[in-house]
Amino acid sequence: MGMVGGGLDAFIGAVHRRAAVFDHEIELVCGSFSASPEKSRRTGQSLYLPDDRIYDSFEEMIQREKELPEGERMDFVSIVTPNHLHFPPAKMALENGFHVICDKPMTLNLQEAKELAQIVEKSGLVFALTHNYTGYPMVKEAREIVRSGKLGTIRKVVVEYPQGWLSKYEEGNDYKQAIWRTDPARSGAAGCMGDIGTHAENLAEYITGLKIDELCADLTTFVPGRLLDDDGNVLLRFDSGAKGVLHASQISNGEENSLKIFVYGELGGLEWHQMEPNTLHYKSQEGHRLLRPNVGEMSPAAKAHIRLPAGHPEGFFEAFANIYRNFAYAVKAHMNGEQLDPVYDFPSAQDGVRGLAFIETVLASNKSAEKWTKFIQ
Amino acid sequence: MGMVGGGLDAFIGAVHRRAAVFDHEIELVCGSFSASPEKSRRTGQSLYLPDDRIYDSFEEMIQREKELPEGERMDFVSIVTPNHLHFPPAKMALENGFHVICDKPMTLNLQEAKELAQIVEKSGLVFALTHNYTGYPMVKEAREIVRSGKLGTIRKVVVEYPQGWLSKYEEGNDYKQAIWRTDPARSGAAGCMGDIGTHAENLAEYITGLKIDELCADLTTFVPGRLLDDDGNVLLRFDSGAKGVLHASQISNGEENSLKIFVYGELGGLEWHQMEPNTLHYKSQEGHRLLRPNVGEMSPAAKAHIRLPAGHPEGFFEAFANIYRNFAYAVKAHMNGEQLDPVYDFPSAQDGVRGLAFIETVLASNKSAEKWTKFIQ
Amino acid sequence: MGMVGGGLDAFIGAVHRRAAVFDHEIELVCGSFSASPEKSRRTGQSLYLPDDRIYDSFEEMIQREKELPEGERMDFVSIVTPNHLHFPPAKMALENGFHVICDKPMTLNLQEAKELAQIVEKSGLVFALTHNYTGYPMVKEAREIVRSGKLGTIRKVVVEYPQGWLSKYEEGNDYKQAIWRTDPARSGAAGCMGDIGTHAENLAEYITGLKIDELCADLTTFVPGRLLDDDGNVLLRFDSGAKGVLHASQISNGEENSLKIFVYGELGGLEWHQMEPNTLHYKSQEGHRLLRPNVGEMSPAAKAHIRLPAGHPEGFFEAFANIYRNFAYAVKAHMNGEQLDPVYDFPSAQDGVRGLAFIETVLASNKSAEKWTKFIQ
Amino acid sequence: MGMVGGGLDAFIGAVHRRAAVFDHEIELVCGSFSASPEKSRRTGQSLYLPDDRIYDSFEEMIQREKELPEGERMDFVSIVTPNHLHFPPAKMALENGFHVICDKPMTLNLQEAKELAQIVEKSGLVFALTHNYTGYPMVKEAREIVRSGKLGTIRKVVVEYPQGWLSKYEEGNDYKQAIWRTDPARSGAAGCMGDIGTHAENLAEYITGLKIDELCADLTTFVPGRLLDDDGNVLLRFDSGAKGVLHASQISNGEENSLKIFVYGELGGLEWHQMEPNTLHYKSQEGHRLLRPNVGEMSPAAKAHIRLPAGHPEGFFEAFANIYRNFAYAVKAHMNGEQLDPVYDFPSAQDGVRGLAFIETVLASNKSAEKWTKFIQ
């Protein structure tokens, strides 16, 4: 693995690195960790990389690695930069024969996303998007329960993602995470909706298998001086006729990272909270069950993403690692010309396109005086 | 107290009766418990009422009680009939000098509600509406925290009220509670939104002190054959600029009676769940506190509605009884020409008007292609 | 109902009164509410009793009520005094033909308890002890699950009752509840173990149907100046071979009233918390279910003690009212010469004897250097 | 790092490996993974180790690695074998100049433990014991709160560790984890008390800083045919005068891995559950706070063990990794002749001695007819 971005003080780069090595399938062999060559160097050294595998730019990295003999060069590129720097390295990596795993949202805008999806398709290479919340085993179990038909036809979906960390003007406080996420040039046209609204959208579509067909959005920027939305409330209509609500916020003061989803069907309902990720509530008028990893029967899809016996909590890193491990399996299968067992799934470039389409639809709806805006294709 | 409605198999009548006597301030002295005189009689007898205080109709009750000497006659009327039968007895009682406590929604439609509010005002009598969820002590505490300014300006409110009991066509099953609640003639023009949506609206306005200014609603009838909405999702805009989401449902399969509210301000947030009513979550970026009855400091308003030491759970009946007790105090104060301490508050006819206006606004918005519909005054 | 004790500032008297009238089966007709005639009078008047039914002493009350015509006199006596004043009025009431419902522990010591149990038996009258925690519907459900054999043979029971309200020397603070409960003359030879340890013992035996056979206790008085134990830890061995732990405390700082029980059998386990009384956890290696009132199937014994639909929380008062209502049914059945359906159960004088025997065994064990002390019969 | 034990189907070996590499401080360079050379080979290969660093026995590994040039050879040995195979490789490693990190309990019996502690001391090398539950950040925070004096003098400690996975005779089912843990030759003289009772003992002493002074134990083997205890209940007395209860079980049917601790002082109390490890309850008569990673103020000791922003759950692996990372820091400090910041703590050989002493004291007490048995030194 060669990494683009993830300098020493970047939050998500360190997450990717831990997730990547977690299952002993992936080794970090090189990187271009920062726009600052000096910082890239310091980062690489702290990770015990040899000097000649620490690069000044992603262009250099891709070029030079390609020149290395097969077996020595990196197998894939991991992109963990701010949003505006996803597309260029992804494109170049794919066009030079490297598989890609990329942070979300996939690109800065929908046009880039569509172009990237085409490049992926043409390349025949493996591409993964780290919508990491789909890596939780109980999220897999939720999807399997929906697929099994046990809930009957899905009628209603509520997905909420409140955070409180941007309740003040943190971007004025030399707070790196806040600064780029509230900067349209680096984050894209949406703030809260791009950063976490897309996770909510992806989770809802992942678990239910439904697609949002039209929506009605009301976005707000509550904190004075902020350039992007920090809160959004959305009514959803799915292609199947199901209805829904999605709301996300960075000004829900006191909330940590409280992604939750509720799915209701004719025959039963599901509830899952990211902050207590090892419990899936399965309810119906007959009773309320707490489904837990390695307790009782469980789908093969969920089991394939659990590493510990019952009662030993796995968390955010492990879910993230599941995405990396499955991607590594896919890369290996690609190398060996094999088919990968579909239990080892991960978000695709198509999911990335939907994420950007969601952002653009939400922004369009927010400006519109009409109630419903069709999901942009 | 004389009761209108609440025959033997009525759910809410029995709740009102227990709530009324709970604090030894109120005695049931007469009633007209059913449209069927025979059932009214059986109900009254099971409650150990003398035969001559069991009436065949509310008209008879009000007439005959008025003829009794002061001190013997009932002091007030409690109305616990289906919605279409709130207005007539309330009007007649008030016009004959009896105070009134009435179940919600206040009337069958907004026009009746406005007329009743005028009658109340003209009469100078005491009128209470049993929006019972505002009787919980931790709801009082939430309101006091908002009032104190500890949360700063309120930015966002999420109120949700999922139930699952109407997931099937229960009105076809000789299920009395389901039958009248899904019948427009008795329930009014809204189903779910009238029955529980109004509770959510009332709770949000009660705790925050804000008024909904405009909204955008999407209502659905999921169960085939049903005549009224059984699910609704609403975007809210408050007069202060705060935003919100309200959703309510009777088809959220597996949910019991899961009214929840989340209030976020500049400085902190609150969270309260009706099903665990003795815990109020008070969160901010500085920490997460669980506020509990009789633990640590607490507002006088909350304390005035707690009867037990810490850790002895009070529930639905006690919250309901708080409405009745405060109403009884108000009646007593009225009789004695005294002012009532404002900690003993209860929902008013004006709250009832807002409830019906909410219903009509939601219905109008649901039909509209425009995003925002102004709250009907 | 005639009440002994329960003057205006007594906590438990007010609980008994609300519990008694809750189901419209019982009416308070007279009382001797305090050793102070003046306070008794004020209490009775605040409850709207006629002056001639407010008595100066329980002796006077029993004597004078007996002289009233049948149908006018009280049917039974409710005793809510401190522990040292349970036996005398209970004895006199029974010997004069009145049924008795009495707070726990039944008497001041085991000798009195045994004598009272004999008087009850000889009288043929109805006697109830308000071990109110057995009145919760989910406690009934727990007992029914054990009885059904679904858990297999019970192996282990853990029952814990931590409170923190006596963490300081509250008895020095004019705090009436603290003063009498820490006074051997009024409370008996045990403090914490008598006040709440007996509830834990009763609950464990009630749910499991097992009897403690021997135990090993370590009691402590942590607060300087206190005269009785304020904490106790006990190892249990049941007659069946099951093992257990019981611990109770009044110095577990920050705990409210946190009675909890865990029961483990060969095939599954149960968990119940008094502070969230409407959830019974039913766990096994196959899964974890939350059993809730009126959700799915439920035993007739539990159903008979629920008044509200799912999700409408009932609490401490309602559990207490279940004891009173069942006692009232038993009194009525006694009057009519009928058998009472056994679902309407309540704690008996025999339970009271076991409670006092538990106290004396724990005290004996605490003084002993031997590990095991046989449960005193 | 060279690993002893941890063949392909071993649960804890895989945990150690993930924990070790998690923070990029440690690399697995060699191993002797199984008593079966063939299995050791397969394990090493699956981990991408070169063939010449996969050994047939720990003796071979230590011998051969020692012969490698400094800088190439392993720096330390990680021992993850069943209990009877902890002492021999630990002794040999230390005597050959390798630091050691070892699974718990430290040895098969107290005599070995004392001998090993002396070898560690004489060697001057770094030794860590993986009592992993002390690696959780909120456990660190709990210890810091006790140390700060905010709770005042500690009065009572309750620590409980129920599991249900050995409710049946699993050792008859070719269930490797069950087989060795119930085999006295490999597990030691205690079953449940050795496997998890020692975790409970260690956690209680770690958080409170108190030492158990005497105890009273009642152990049971509930499952027919089992050779070791599968349940134990223990009364504790600490050197400070504090009292406590410790119970642990492998037959608490339906429990997963439910280690919990409750600590009560004069001024407040703490509560922590391993299965929801990111919440520390801090309670007093003034209120109930939920302390959470990276929410509000937090001790440096806790902060040093958190990797993610608030609301991103870390779990079992991360706590384990904290032990490894701190051990790696200590090894590095040792190499560089530096002092390690005491926030990077980990369990020591002395903790290991106390663990074995706890086991032997509990076994002695279980056989004794006397109530109290002094903690064996």
Q: What is the pLDDT of residues A309-344, one digit of tens each?
A: 999 999 999 999 999 999 999 999 999 999 999 999
For residue A291, list chain C residues with Cβ-Cβ distance below 8 A.
287
User: Closest to B311 (Cβ–Cβ): which among C21, C256, C310?
Assistant: C256
Q: Are D116 and D87 in contact (CB under 8 A)?
A: yes
Model confidence at A138, in pLDDT bands (50, 70, 90)?
A: very high
User: Closest to B258 (Cβ–Cβ): which among C48, C309, C311?
Assistant: C311
C-alpha to C-alpha distance for D9 and D178, rounded to whole angstroms:
13
Does the CB of D309 have a partner CB in chain B at under 8 Å? no
Span of A368-372, C184-188, D139-143 with lowest mean pLDDT: C184-188
Query: For the CA atoms of A366, A367, A368, A374, what is the dihedral angle to 10 degrees?
Result: -50
Chain-chain contact of A308 with D317 (C-beta, under 8 angstroms): yes
Model confidence at D10, in pLDDT bands (50, 70, 90)?
A: confident
Sheet holding A127-129, edge to edge: A30-32, A2-4, A76-79, A99-102, A127-129
Q: Are B349 and B129 in contact (CB under 8 A)?
A: yes
Does the CB of D309 have a partner CB in chain A at under 8 Å? yes
User: Closest to A155 (Cβ–Cβ): which among B251, B282, B283?
Assistant: B251
Does the CB of C288 have a partner CB in chain A at under 8 Å? yes
Total CB pairs under 8 A between chain A and C: 32
377 residues of chain B, pLDDT tens digit each: 999 999 988 789 999 999 999 999 999 999 999 999 999 999 999 999 999 999 999 999 999 999 999 889 999 999 999 999 999 999 999 999 999 999 999 999 999 999 999 999 999 999 999 999 999 999 999 999 999 999 999 999 999 999 999 999 999 988 888 999 999 999 999 999 999 999 999 999 999 999 999 999 999 999 999 999 999 999 999 999 999 999 999 999 999 999 999 999 999 999 999 999 999 999 998 899 999 999 999 999 999 999 999 999 999 999 999 999 999 999 999 999 999 999 999 999 999 999 999 999 999 999 999 999 999 98
Does the CB of D158 have a partner CB in chain C at under 8 Å? yes
CB proximity list for D377: less than 8 A, separation 6 or greater: D357
Scanning every residue of chain A, which has its alpha carbon at the shortest distance from the alpha carbon of B224? Answer: A266
Scanning every residue of chain C, which has its alpha carbon at the shortest distance from the alpha carbon of D152? Answer: C253
Model confidence at A135, in pLDDT bands (50, 70, 90)?
A: very high
C-alpha to C-alpha distance for D102 and D79, rounded to whole angstroms:
5
User: Closest to B287 (Cβ–Cβ): which among D285, D286, D296?
Assistant: D296
Chain-chain contact of B276 with C313 (C-beta, under 8 angstroms): yes
For B180, other C-beta atoms within 10 Å of its C-beta total 16
Span of C83-97, C193-207, C355-369, D171-185 with lowest mean pLDDT: D171-185
- Name which of A151, A265, A289 is nearest B249 in CA terms: A265
Does the CB of B292 have a partner CB in chain D at under 8 Å? yes
Q: Are C312 and B177 in contact (CB under 8 A)?
A: no
C-alpha to C-alpha distance for B200 and A63, rounded to whole angstroms:
60
Mean pLDDT of chain C: 97
Does the CB of D64 have a partner CB in chain C at under 8 Å? no
Give the distance from residue A226's alpha carbon to the nearest chain B alpha carbon, in angstroms: 15
Kindly state the average pLDDT of the residues D48-56.
96
Classify residue B106 by its DSSP letter: S
Classify residue A86 by its DSSP letter: T
Scanning every residue of chain B, which has its alpha carbon at the shortest distance from the alpha carbon of C44? Answer: B24
Scanning every residue of chain A, which has its alpha carbon at the shortest distance from the alpha carbon of C287? Answer: A296
Give whole-number Cα distances, D198 to B221, D115, D202, D322, in Å.
58, 19, 6, 19
Q: Are D97 and D119 in contact (CB under 8 A)?
A: no
Model confidence at A176, in pLDDT bands (50, 70, 90)?
A: confident
**Which chains are within 8 Å of C by 3+ CB pairs?**
A, B, D
Give the distance from residue C289's alpha carbon to the nearest chain A alpha carbon, in angstroms: 4
C-alpha to C-alpha distance for B289 and B296, rounded to whole angstroms:
11
Model confidence at A240, in pLDDT bands (50, 70, 90)?
A: very high
The sign of the dihedral angle between the CA atoms of B35, B38, B41, B43 is: negative
Model confidence at A286, in pLDDT bands (50, 70, 90)?
A: confident
Residue C360 is predicted with a pLDDT of 98
For D57, other C-beta atoms within 10 Å of its C-beta total 15
Q: Write out the two tokens for C287.
A: 């899964």
Q: What is the pLDDT of residues D67-100, one digit of tens each?
A: 999 889 999 999 999 999 999 999 999 999 999 9
Residue C9 is predicted with a pLDDT of 80
Chain-chain contact of B308 with C316 (C-beta, under 8 angstroms): yes
Model confidence at D286, in pLDDT bands (50, 70, 90)?
A: confident
Chain-chain contact of D310 with A256 (C-beta, under 8 angstroms): yes
Domains of chain D by range and CATH?
2-129 (3.40.50.720), 136-308+352-367 (3.30.360.10)
Scanning every residue of chain D, which has its alpha carbon at the shortest distance from the alpha carbon of C249? Answer: D156
Does the CB of A309 have a partner CB in chain C at under 8 Å? no
C-alpha to C-alpha distance for D112 and D106, rounded to whole angstroms:
9
Q: Are C314 and C293 in contact (CB under 8 A)?
A: yes
Give whole-number Cα distances, A104 to A20, A129, D305, in Å.
16, 6, 27
C-alpha to C-alpha distance for B166 and B151, rounded to whole angstroms:
37
Chain-chain contact of A264 with B244 (C-beta, under 8 angstroms): no
Q: Write out the two tokens for B23.
A: 């604090």
Q: Are B34 and B40 in contact (CB under 8 A)?
A: yes
HEC secondary structure over chain D: CEEECCCCCCHHHHHHHHHHHCCCCCCCCEEECCCCHHHHHHHHHHCCCCHHHECCCHHHHHHHHHHCCCCCCCCEEEECCCHHHCHHHHHHHHHCCCEEEECCCCCCCHHHHHHHHHHHHHHCCCEEECCHHHHCHHHHHHHHHHHHCCCCCEEEEEEEEECCCCCCCHHHCCCHHHHHHCCHHHHCCCCHHHHHHHHHHHHHHHHHCCCEEEEEEEEECCCCCCCCCCEEEEEEEECCCCEEEEEEECCCCCCCCCCEEEEEECCCEEEEECCCCCCEEEEECCEEEEECCCCCCCCHHHHCCCCCCCCCCCCHHHHHHHHHHHHHHHHHHHHCCCCCCCCCCCCCHHHHHHHHHHHHHHHHHHHCCECCEECCC
Best of A282, A288, A292 to mutate (most C CBs within 10 Å, chain C): A288
Instruction: Give yes or no for a cis peptide into D88 (omega within 30° of 0).
Output: no
Chain-chain contact of D258 with A23 (C-beta, under 8 angstroms): no
For residue B317, list chain C residues with Cβ-Cβ distance below 8 A.
22, 307-308, 314, 317-318
For residue C278, list chain B residues with Cβ-Cβ distance below 8 A.
275
pLDDT at C176 > cutoff 90: no
For residue D49, list chain A residues with Cβ-Cβ distance below 8 A.
none
Scanning every residue of chain C, which has its alpha carbon at the shortest distance from the alpha carbon of B22? Answer: C18
- Is the ipTM here above 0.85? yes
Kindly state the average pLDDT of the residues D178-194.
94
The sign of the dihedral angle between the CA atoms of B303, B308, B311, B314 is: negative
C-alpha to C-alpha distance for C290 and A363, rounded to whole angstroms:
42
Give the distance from residue A139's alpha carbon to the nearest chain B alpha carbon, in angstroms: 19
Residues in chain D: 377
Q: Are B212 and B358 in contact (CB under 8 A)?
A: yes
- Name which of B80, B44, B79 is nearest B62 in CA terms: B79
Residue D143 is predicted with a pLDDT of 98
The residue type at A374:
K
User: Closest to D287 (Cβ–Cβ): which among B285, B286, B289?
Assistant: B289
Q: Are B281 and B272 in contact (CB under 8 A)?
A: yes
Q: What are B101's strand-pairing partners?
A: B78, B128
pLDDT at D9 > cutoff 90: no
For residue D222, list chain C residues with Cβ-Cβ distance below 8 A.
155-156
Model confidence at A200, in pLDDT bands (50, 70, 90)?
A: very high
- Name which of A248, A134, A125 is nearest A195 in CA terms: A248
Return phi, psi of residue A271, to 5°: -145, 135
